[in-house]
Amino acid sequence: MRPSIEAIGGLALIVGVIALIIFVAVEATLIYSAWHYRASRMPGPAPQIAGNSRLEVVWTVLPAAILLVLFVLMTGTMREIGVAVAGGGTPAGMRIVARGAQWWWEYRYPSSSGEVVVANELHIPVDTAVDLDLESADVVHSYWIPGLGGKTDMIPGRTNHLRLYASRTGTFTGQCAEFCGVEHAWMRLTVLAEPRADFDRWLAAQSAPRSAPSGAGAAGERVFTTNLCVSCHAIRGTDAKGEAGPDLTHVASRTTLAAGVLKNDPAAMRAWLADPQKYKPGALMPRVPLSDADLDALVSYLEGLK
Ligand code: CUA
Protein backbone atom coordinates (compact mmCIF):
# COMPACT_ATOMS: atom_id res chain seq x y z
CA MET A 1 0.00 0.00 0.00
CA ARG A 2 1.17 3.53 -0.70
CA PRO A 3 0.23 6.77 1.09
CA SER A 4 -2.98 8.45 -0.12
CA ILE A 5 -1.06 11.56 -1.13
CA GLU A 6 0.96 9.54 -3.64
CA ALA A 7 -2.20 8.08 -5.18
CA ILE A 8 -3.87 11.50 -5.27
CA GLY A 9 -0.68 13.15 -6.56
CA GLY A 10 -0.38 10.57 -9.35
CA LEU A 11 -3.96 11.20 -10.44
CA ALA A 12 -3.48 14.97 -10.26
CA LEU A 13 -0.42 14.65 -12.50
CA ILE A 14 -2.34 12.69 -15.16
CA VAL A 15 -5.25 15.16 -15.06
CA GLY A 16 -2.76 18.07 -15.21
CA VAL A 17 -0.98 16.64 -18.26
CA ILE A 18 -4.27 16.04 -20.11
CA ALA A 19 -5.43 19.56 -19.24
CA LEU A 20 -2.10 20.99 -20.41
CA ILE A 21 -2.35 19.19 -23.77
CA ILE A 22 -5.91 20.50 -24.27
CA PHE A 23 -4.84 24.01 -23.25
CA VAL A 24 -1.90 24.08 -25.66
CA ALA A 25 -4.01 22.64 -28.51
CA VAL A 26 -6.86 25.13 -28.01
CA GLU A 27 -4.57 28.15 -27.60
CA ALA A 28 -2.46 27.17 -30.61
CA THR A 29 -5.57 26.75 -32.79
CA LEU A 30 -6.91 30.08 -31.55
CA ILE A 31 -3.71 32.01 -32.24
CA TYR A 32 -3.17 30.31 -35.60
CA SER A 33 -6.79 31.01 -36.69
CA ALA A 34 -6.69 34.66 -35.61
CA TRP A 35 -3.53 35.16 -37.62
CA HIS A 36 -4.37 32.98 -40.62
CA TYR A 37 -7.92 34.25 -41.14
CA ARG A 38 -7.25 37.89 -40.32
CA ALA A 39 -9.55 40.44 -42.02
CA SER A 40 -6.82 41.99 -44.18
CA ARG A 41 -6.16 38.59 -45.69
CA MET A 42 -9.73 37.28 -45.93
CA PRO A 43 -12.24 40.11 -46.27
CA GLY A 44 -15.95 39.42 -46.10
CA PRO A 45 -17.91 36.95 -44.01
CA ALA A 46 -16.20 33.70 -43.01
CA PRO A 47 -17.35 30.49 -44.74
CA GLN A 48 -19.94 28.59 -42.65
CA ILE A 49 -19.42 24.95 -41.82
CA ALA A 50 -22.64 24.09 -39.91
CA GLY A 51 -23.73 20.49 -40.28
CA ASN A 52 -20.27 19.00 -40.74
CA SER A 53 -20.95 15.59 -39.24
CA ARG A 54 -17.32 14.48 -39.07
CA LEU A 55 -16.47 17.50 -36.86
CA GLU A 56 -19.60 16.95 -34.75
CA VAL A 57 -18.58 13.35 -34.07
CA VAL A 58 -14.98 14.29 -33.23
CA TRP A 59 -15.86 16.96 -30.69
CA THR A 60 -18.47 14.78 -29.06
CA VAL A 61 -16.52 11.53 -28.87
CA LEU A 62 -13.16 13.00 -27.88
CA PRO A 63 -14.31 14.82 -24.71
CA ALA A 64 -16.52 11.86 -23.77
CA ALA A 65 -13.53 9.52 -24.08
CA ILE A 66 -11.34 11.84 -21.98
CA LEU A 67 -14.04 12.04 -19.28
CA LEU A 68 -14.44 8.27 -19.29
CA VAL A 69 -10.71 7.75 -18.78
CA LEU A 70 -10.69 10.29 -15.91
CA PHE A 71 -13.76 8.64 -14.36
CA VAL A 72 -12.13 5.21 -14.33
CA LEU A 73 -8.84 6.57 -12.93
CA MET A 74 -10.69 8.60 -10.28
CA THR A 75 -12.87 5.78 -9.00
CA GLY A 76 -9.78 3.56 -8.82
CA THR A 77 -7.97 6.20 -6.76
CA MET A 78 -10.99 6.72 -4.50
CA ARG A 79 -11.10 3.00 -3.79
CA GLU A 80 -7.37 2.92 -3.16
CA ILE A 81 -7.37 5.77 -0.64
CA GLY A 82 -10.23 4.23 1.30
CA VAL A 83 -13.03 6.65 0.51
CA ALA A 84 -15.23 3.62 -0.11
CA VAL A 85 -14.49 2.03 3.27
CA ALA A 86 -17.88 2.99 4.63
CA GLY A 87 -19.55 1.26 1.72
CA GLY A 88 -17.87 -2.05 2.43
CA GLY A 89 -14.41 -1.55 0.92
CA THR A 90 -11.25 -3.10 2.26
CA PRO A 91 -11.04 -2.72 6.01
CA ALA A 92 -7.68 -1.39 7.11
CA GLY A 93 -5.41 -2.30 9.96
CA MET A 94 -6.65 0.15 12.53
CA ARG A 95 -9.73 2.22 13.27
CA ILE A 96 -9.73 5.40 15.32
CA VAL A 97 -12.56 7.81 15.99
CA ALA A 98 -11.53 11.43 15.42
CA ARG A 99 -13.91 14.12 16.61
CA GLY A 100 -13.65 17.83 15.95
CA ALA A 101 -14.96 20.19 18.62
CA GLN A 102 -14.80 23.93 19.18
CA TRP A 103 -11.72 24.17 19.20
CA TRP A 104 -9.78 21.00 19.71
CA TRP A 105 -9.59 17.39 18.57
CA GLU A 106 -10.48 14.18 20.30
CA TYR A 107 -9.23 10.72 19.35
CA ARG A 108 -10.67 7.44 20.62
CA TYR A 109 -8.62 4.28 20.22
CA PRO A 110 -10.16 0.89 20.71
CA SER A 111 -8.01 -1.05 23.17
CA SER A 112 -8.23 -4.34 25.04
CA SER A 113 -8.79 -2.43 28.28
CA GLY A 114 -11.63 -0.32 26.87
CA GLU A 115 -11.51 2.88 24.90
CA VAL A 116 -8.45 5.13 25.13
CA VAL A 117 -9.35 8.79 24.81
CA VAL A 118 -6.72 11.41 24.01
CA ALA A 119 -6.74 14.95 22.69
CA ASN A 120 -5.04 16.95 19.97
CA GLU A 121 -2.13 14.65 19.18
CA LEU A 122 -2.78 11.60 17.06
CA HIS A 123 -0.23 8.82 17.35
CA ILE A 124 -0.22 6.25 14.56
CA PRO A 125 2.04 3.33 13.70
CA VAL A 126 4.10 3.75 10.57
CA ASP A 127 3.40 1.58 7.47
CA THR A 128 -0.12 0.86 8.68
CA ALA A 129 -3.39 1.97 7.15
CA VAL A 130 -5.35 3.90 9.74
CA ASP A 131 -9.03 4.50 9.11
CA LEU A 132 -10.44 7.51 10.88
CA ASP A 133 -14.14 7.75 11.62
CA LEU A 134 -14.63 11.52 11.46
CA GLU A 135 -17.25 13.06 13.72
CA SER A 136 -18.14 16.48 14.98
CA ALA A 137 -19.27 17.55 18.42
CA ASP A 138 -20.83 20.81 17.28
CA VAL A 139 -20.30 22.52 13.91
CA VAL A 140 -18.63 21.53 10.64
CA HIS A 141 -14.87 21.12 10.93
CA SER A 142 -12.55 19.77 8.28
CA TYR A 143 -9.74 17.32 8.83
CA TRP A 144 -6.66 17.83 6.73
CA ILE A 145 -3.09 16.66 7.13
CA PRO A 146 -1.64 17.52 3.71
CA GLY A 147 1.32 15.17 4.16
CA LEU A 148 -0.82 12.14 4.90
CA GLY A 149 -4.13 12.24 3.09
CA GLY A 150 -6.98 14.12 1.55
CA LYS A 151 -9.24 16.66 3.21
CA THR A 152 -12.54 15.46 4.64
CA ASP A 153 -15.23 17.37 6.48
CA MET A 154 -16.45 16.48 9.95
CA ILE A 155 -20.20 16.95 9.93
CA PRO A 156 -22.48 16.89 12.99
CA GLY A 157 -24.76 13.86 12.97
CA ARG A 158 -22.83 11.80 10.45
CA THR A 159 -19.62 9.81 10.26
CA ASN A 160 -17.19 10.38 7.41
CA HIS A 161 -14.17 8.27 6.67
CA LEU A 162 -10.58 9.07 5.92
CA ARG A 163 -7.60 6.77 5.56
CA LEU A 164 -4.18 7.92 6.72
CA TYR A 165 -1.01 6.10 5.85
CA ALA A 166 2.47 7.20 6.86
CA SER A 167 5.33 5.56 5.01
CA ARG A 168 7.94 7.20 7.24
CA THR A 169 8.16 8.15 10.88
CA GLY A 170 7.90 11.78 11.89
CA THR A 171 5.53 14.55 12.84
CA PHE A 172 2.90 15.62 10.33
CA THR A 173 0.93 18.79 10.90
CA GLY A 174 -2.27 20.26 9.60
CA GLN A 175 -5.03 22.60 10.48
CA CYS A 176 -8.82 22.61 10.64
CA ALA A 177 -9.80 23.52 7.09
CA GLU A 178 -13.37 24.72 7.53
CA PHE A 179 -14.17 27.98 9.29
CA CYS A 180 -15.76 26.91 12.57
CA GLY A 181 -15.81 29.96 14.82
CA VAL A 182 -13.49 32.47 16.45
CA GLU A 183 -10.75 29.98 17.33
CA HIS A 184 -10.82 28.13 14.01
CA ALA A 185 -7.19 29.13 13.49
CA TRP A 186 -6.22 27.36 16.71
CA MET A 187 -7.29 23.88 15.77
CA ARG A 188 -3.84 22.60 14.98
CA LEU A 189 -3.55 19.03 13.86
CA THR A 190 -0.54 16.99 14.89
CA VAL A 191 0.09 13.42 13.85
CA LEU A 192 3.05 11.48 15.18
CA ALA A 193 3.93 8.47 13.04
CA GLU A 194 5.99 6.07 15.10
CA PRO A 195 7.58 2.65 14.73
CA ARG A 196 5.11 -0.05 15.76
CA ALA A 197 6.89 -0.85 19.05
CA ASP A 198 6.93 2.81 20.11
CA PHE A 199 3.28 3.16 19.22
CA ASP A 200 2.30 0.06 21.19
CA ARG A 201 4.22 1.36 24.20
CA TRP A 202 2.50 4.72 23.92
CA LEU A 203 -0.96 3.16 23.62
CA ALA A 204 -0.32 0.89 26.61
CA ALA A 205 0.75 3.90 28.70
CA GLN A 206 -2.31 5.89 27.59
CA SER A 207 -4.59 2.96 28.44
CA ALA A 208 -3.63 3.05 32.09
CA PRO A 209 -5.56 5.23 34.54
CA ARG A 210 -3.73 8.23 35.97
CA SER A 211 -0.92 7.34 38.34
CA ALA A 212 -1.93 8.17 41.91
CA PRO A 213 -0.42 11.52 42.86
CA SER A 214 1.48 12.27 46.04
CA GLY A 215 2.43 15.46 47.89
CA ALA A 216 1.51 18.64 46.03
CA GLY A 217 0.01 16.48 43.32
CA ALA A 218 -2.51 14.94 45.73
CA ALA A 219 -3.54 18.43 46.84
CA GLY A 220 -3.82 19.39 43.17
CA GLU A 221 -6.14 16.48 42.49
CA ARG A 222 -8.40 17.71 45.30
CA VAL A 223 -8.42 21.17 43.71
CA PHE A 224 -9.31 19.59 40.39
CA THR A 225 -12.12 17.39 41.66
CA THR A 226 -13.71 20.02 43.91
CA ASN A 227 -13.81 22.79 41.31
CA LEU A 228 -15.52 23.44 38.00
CA CYS A 229 -12.83 21.42 36.16
CA VAL A 230 -14.69 18.11 36.64
CA SER A 231 -17.79 19.25 34.83
CA CYS A 232 -15.90 19.34 31.51
CA HIS A 233 -12.83 17.10 31.88
CA ALA A 234 -12.27 13.45 32.59
CA ILE A 235 -9.29 11.90 34.36
CA ARG A 236 -9.48 8.13 34.50
CA GLY A 237 -8.89 6.86 37.99
CA THR A 238 -10.76 9.79 39.56
CA ASP A 239 -14.41 10.78 39.74
CA ALA A 240 -13.85 13.38 37.00
CA LYS A 241 -15.87 12.20 34.02
CA GLY A 242 -16.71 15.38 32.11
CA GLU A 243 -16.87 15.04 28.35
CA ALA A 244 -17.12 18.60 27.06
CA GLY A 245 -13.37 19.22 27.15
CA PRO A 246 -10.24 17.17 26.50
CA ASP A 247 -9.55 14.02 28.54
CA LEU A 248 -6.67 14.91 30.86
CA THR A 249 -5.66 11.45 32.11
CA HIS A 250 -2.21 11.78 30.51
CA VAL A 251 -2.18 15.48 29.68
CA ALA A 252 1.50 15.85 30.60
CA SER A 253 2.47 13.45 27.81
CA ARG A 254 1.29 15.92 25.15
CA THR A 255 3.57 18.54 23.62
CA THR A 256 1.15 21.46 23.51
CA LEU A 257 -1.83 22.91 25.34
CA ALA A 258 -5.07 24.25 23.90
CA ALA A 259 -4.66 22.53 20.51
CA GLY A 260 -1.30 24.10 19.80
CA VAL A 261 -1.52 27.53 21.43
CA LEU A 262 1.04 26.93 24.19
CA LYS A 263 3.99 24.65 24.73
CA ASN A 264 3.12 22.14 27.42
CA ASP A 265 5.35 22.99 30.38
CA PRO A 266 4.58 23.99 33.98
CA ALA A 267 4.94 27.73 33.38
CA ALA A 268 2.63 27.67 30.37
CA MET A 269 0.18 25.39 32.15
CA ARG A 270 0.00 27.82 35.05
CA ALA A 271 -0.53 30.79 32.75
CA TRP A 272 -3.20 28.91 30.82
CA LEU A 273 -5.13 27.82 33.93
CA ALA A 274 -4.92 31.32 35.40
CA ASP A 275 -6.56 32.89 32.36
CA PRO A 276 -7.47 30.72 29.35
CA GLN A 277 -9.21 33.62 27.61
CA LYS A 278 -5.97 35.56 27.45
CA TYR A 279 -4.37 32.87 25.27
CA LYS A 280 -7.40 31.58 23.38
CA PRO A 281 -10.13 34.23 23.42
CA GLY A 282 -13.52 32.64 22.87
CA ALA A 283 -12.41 29.18 23.99
CA LEU A 284 -15.09 27.42 25.99
CA MET A 285 -12.82 27.01 28.99
CA PRO A 286 -13.74 29.63 31.58
CA ARG A 287 -11.42 31.28 34.02
CA VAL A 288 -11.78 29.46 37.33
CA PRO A 289 -10.77 31.72 40.22
CA LEU A 290 -8.19 29.86 42.31
CA SER A 291 -5.77 30.94 45.02
CA ASP A 292 -2.06 30.95 44.09
CA ALA A 293 -1.49 27.92 46.31
CA ASP A 294 -4.34 25.99 44.67
CA LEU A 295 -3.08 26.97 41.22
CA ASP A 296 0.44 25.75 42.03
CA ALA A 297 -0.92 22.47 43.36
CA LEU A 298 -3.11 22.02 40.27
CA VAL A 299 -0.18 22.69 37.93
CA SER A 300 2.01 20.21 39.78
CA TYR A 301 -0.80 17.64 39.60
CA LEU A 302 -1.56 18.04 35.89
CA GLU A 303 2.11 18.20 34.86
CA GLY A 304 2.60 14.92 36.76
CA LEU A 305 0.00 13.13 34.63
CA LYS A 306 2.47 11.62 32.18
CU1 CUA B 1 -12.62 23.50 13.34
CU2 CUA B 1 -12.18 25.23 11.79
What confidence tens digit (pLDDT) does each residue in 222-261 have?
Answer: 999 999 999 999 999 898 889 999 999 999 999 999 999 9
pTM of structure: 0.79
Grade residue 84 by pLDDT with cuts at 50, 70 and 90: very low
- Give the residues across from 99 on adjacent strands: 106, 135
**Is the torsion defined by CA of 208, 106, 258, 151 positive or negative?**
positive
* Per-residue pLDDT tens over the stretch 163-206: 888 889 999 999 999 999 999 999 999 999 999 999 999 999 99
Q: Cα dist. 278→4, 99, 142, 286 in Å?
A: 39, 25, 26, 11
* Per-residue pLDDT tens over the stretch 90-143: 455 688 999 999 999 999 998 777 789 999 999 999 988 888 999 999 999 999
Closest atom, ligand 1, to C-alpha of 181: 2
Closest atom, ligand 1, to C-alpha of 179: 2
- Give the residues across from 122 on adjacent strands: 191
**Is the pLDDT score of 209 beyond 70?**
yes
Cα–Cα distance measured from residue 241 to residue 225, given in angstroms and rounded to the nearest whole number = 10
Query: What pLDDT is attached to residue 83?
Result: 60
Residues 6+ apart with CB under 8 A from 249: 117, 206, 209, 210, 234, 235, 236, 237, 305
Closest atom, ligand 1, to C-alpha of 185: 2
Query: What pLDDT is attached to residue 45?
Result: 83
Measured from CB, residues less than 6 Å from any atom of ligand 1 are: 100, 141, 176, 178-180, 184, 187
Cα(105) to centroid of ligand 1, in Å?
10
78 CB neighbour count, 10 Å cutoff: 16
Cα(129) to centroid of ligand 1, in Å?
25
Cα(284) to centroid of ligand 1, in Å?
14
* Per-residue pLDDT tens over the stretch 272-287: 999 999 999 999 999 9
Query: What pLDDT is attached to residue 79?
Result: 83
Cα(161) to centroid of ligand 1, in Å?
17
Q: Across residues 292-305, what is the average pLDDT? A: 91
268 CB neighbour count, 10 Å cutoff: 18
**Is the pLDDT score of 89 beyond 70?**
no
